[in-house]
Amino acid sequence: MLSLRFAIPTANTLTPPKIKPKPGLVVQTAWNQTDLFPSLPKRNDYKLQAATTDLSVAGDIPAEEVVELPAELSRELMPKHVAVIMDGNGRWARQRGLATSAGHEAGVKALRELVELCCQWGIQVLTVFAFSYENWIRPKVEVDFLMSLFERALKSEVESLSRGGIRISVIGDSTKLPTSLQKLINEVEETTKHNSRLQLIVAVSYSGKYDVVQACRSIAEKAKDGQIQLDDINESLIEQELETNCTEHPYPDLLIRTSGELRVSNFLLWQLAYTELFFAQELWPDFRKDEFVDALSSYQQRQRRYGGRH
């Protein structure tokens, strides 16, 4: 069960929406549907948009350098690991009368900006929820579109991310992914494995329940083969078998969820036991530097007790 023992200041738990209208776009201030990132296009969007969506973003990740932090933040209190549920691409597009694919493009740009900020501000691990294990039950046309979207995003950004010193890891049940995507993931992970400026972990075909179950199965196989004994099974052993064993910092210090939804949606259930939570009203494409500063500032004002007293 997820532990919620930490205090979440009311003033910082839900931040007011900051919708940023652009010339020529009609912006509505209400939405009526929850959608996990990536938001799924309507059925009639796929064939028209899959071939035309451009996921590339010009320029490289800036070279490593000392960057002055915003006045609200302290480098000493910066979280090592930030996790994000990127929610609201579809609603962002609908509010502007655009195709859903436009929301995905804007979401990719928002993620790229967040990656740059993490690099500049000394955050060591960024984990993002891209595709839930439960999403496989959706119509095949939707799933095919999202797999293609992810593959194209990886291809268009991997060189820039690698030059920026970023290591890319993908967690989740990769056996369900298209063969071409599995091969690309292996190549990207191998190419960037020695980078150490920031580790970007992308959760695809992932769920927290799946993660715990696959860890238990692995432990059971080892016990069956006589590699471990019953008394060897403890929290540490389970943690070694979780998908987040790919990083030195498997437990997020801060989880951010956008779009005003107040749940963790089966994401990193074991790992979030003592994570601080921050819920922002902004839809994911509108979550930029100012909103990230708000989330980090809220985190830095909290006392993490881990069940104890201070």
The ranges of the chain with pLDDT < 70 are: 1-66, 310
Contact, 74 vs 124, CB < 8 A?
A: no
Contact, 304 vs 277, CB < 8 A?
A: no
Q: What is the pLDDT of residue 65?
A: 67
Contact, 304 vs 5, CB < 8 A?
A: no
Rounded (5°) CA angle 170-54-186: 25
Model confidence pLDDT, tens digit, residues 43-94:
334 433 433 444 444 466 666 666 899 999 999 999 999 999 999 988 999 9
* 270 to 110, 187, 266: CA distances (angstroms): 27, 28, 10
**Averaged pLDDT score across all residues of the chain:** 83
Using CA atoms, how far apart are residues 148 and 164, in angstroms rounded to an integer?
25
Burial class (CB in 10 A: 0-12, 13-18, 19+), 222: middle
Contact, 38 vs 89, CB < 8 A?
A: yes
Q: What is the pLDDT of residue 236?
A: 96
Q: Which residues contact 138 (CB under 8 A, 6 or more apart)?
A: 40
Model confidence pLDDT, tens digit, residues 22-51:
433 333 333 333 333 343 333 334 433 433
Strand, coil or helix: 43: helix
Task: Outline where 122-195 has alpha helix (H).
Answer: 140-163, 179-192
Catalytic positions: 87
